[in-house]
Amino acid sequence: MRLREEVFFGGFKEIEEEASKVMKSCGRCGPPLVRNGYDPEKIITLIGKVKINRIRLRCKNCGEDIYPLDEAIEVLQMEKE
């Protein structure tokens, strides 16, 4: 079970890192995004509820917070449809 969790989280971390590299500027107003810590999120999986820390990016201009993992998961879900 522990190995499954490590593989699961490793996959999410890889997706999140790649997405954060692609997201360089604010989609709303354009300036560069900066890392602004992490936010915990609970997700339901086949192994139960798990808590992950998501990277938070912030626009210095408008203050919008963006979560690369959330954006990447949304894109992956749209590709499945």
Overall pTM surpassing 0.85 (yes/no): no
How many other C-beta atoms are found inside a 10 Å radius of the C-beta of residue 29? 12
Q: Which two tokens mark 10? A: 């490793």
Domain boundaries, the chain: 2-80
pLDDT in 10s for each residue of the chain, 81 residues = 666 666 667 777 888 888 888 888 998 999 999 999 999 888 777 777 778 888 999 999 999 999 998 888 775 555 545
3-state helix, strand, coil in the chain (%, to 5): 40, 35, 20
